[in-house]
Amino acid sequence: MVDRRHFIKKSAGSLAALGGLALLQRSGLTVATGAEEATLMDALPGKEALIKKTFRPPNYETPINYFDAPFTPNNRFFVRYHHAVIPDVNINEWRLRIGGDAIHTPMELNLEQLRKDFKQVEIAALCLCSGNRRGLFQPHVPGVQWGSGAMGNALWRGVRLKDVLARAGIDKSALEVSLAGADSGVLPTTPNFVKSLPLTKALDENTLIAFEMNGEPLPHWNGFPARLVIPGWTATYWIKHLNALNVISKPFDGFWMKSAYRIPKDRFPSGQFSSQETETAMPITEMVVNSLITNLEDGQTLSNSKSIEIKGVAWDSGNGIARVEISTDGGSNWQQATLKQDYGRFSWRQWQLDFEPKHPGAYRIMARATSHSGESQGLEPIPNPSGYHHNAVQNITIQLV
């Protein structure tokens, strides 16, 4: 692994996107007031240049032109952390601890045991930060001001979480499974980034402990040596550098569940997490239907031609994309795009439309996806204090000369 001790030693503090709370700033870092204001390109060790949002902790998004491919290259995959201390894990010393008050036989597993003792599976799934597009909300809300690149689609290989938990034995009192990783805050008072899953989601056949990404070992910045993959749910649960699982009989009450990553109840279509719900709020869980134009930019000037290709991707929580519609006249008329290869219901779906402009001038292009469940994008994002689930119909203008 690349030596990143210099990165850790220089860390003066930690930024936490604490739901609707203001960012904690202890490193002198200036956070932009909108996604369009933070476009500095920078490369972390082992990564190509990404759009730097914050350095401590490292938060970098992928330029959208890399989303033209079915799977996002590992060295261009976005990076998202809440804490600044990210250790280089020694694979010979790494262990995954399984315990909790609702487990029969606490145990530890090394990576070789994970690989050899359990059936390996591979799944295509979109990893998407809960706050993707937060920087596009008006007015702005607190948190990392992400544009559209805090996501990536990958082939994840690993073992089913349910198989590992079954080896330890689950008690009938089990309610949730708490999840912890090796990264930590600079200050001892910083709450460790620990999440939990409802038992039903932990036992879902698609929930993985992954150790490979696009056919290679997980990159350091994306969770080496093992991370959780929770297809269809936002990436707040996809714990990186996974080192502890605890099966528990009561609702986990840590900060990152009780106070952060929560949305107003009944405002979004969402998966159930009843043990963590209150009368007014619930944890963010499932992704919402969304789409993105990947080969054109707002304000772009193109030479007038007989045909212009409009390409993009669309996704949802796992129901699958039924159709993507494109308007080239600001929403007055819509055409159905061609959906490309289906890599599975948790993967994004590429789409394409050939547009034949009739004359030079400005064209307002919009993209709208609809899932097989009937969920469709609206024209405006749904307001919420933390800027989650921004899935308004994309709207860009290009100029033909």
Digit-coded pLDDT (tens) for 334-367: 999 999 999 999 999 999 999 999 999 999 999 9
Cβ neighbours around 338 below 10 Å, total: 10
Which pTM does this prediction carry?
0.90
In tens, the pLDDT along 369-388 reads 999 999 999 999 999 999 99
d(CA 284, CA 263): 6
Beta-bridge mates of residue 262? 283
Domain with CATH 3.90.420.10 in the chain: 1-285
Structural contact between residues 318 and 123, judged by C-beta atoms closer than 8 angstroms: no
pLDDT attached to residue 34 = 53
Return residue ranges of the chain for CATH 2.60.40.650: 290-400
Q: Which CATH architecture has domain 290-400?
A: Sandwich (2.60)
pLDDT at residue number 19: 37
* CATH, domain range 1-285: 3.90.420.10
* pLDDT tens column, 50-82: 999 999 999 999 999 999 999 999 999 999 999
Q: How far apart are CA 124 and CA 237, in angstroms?
A: 17
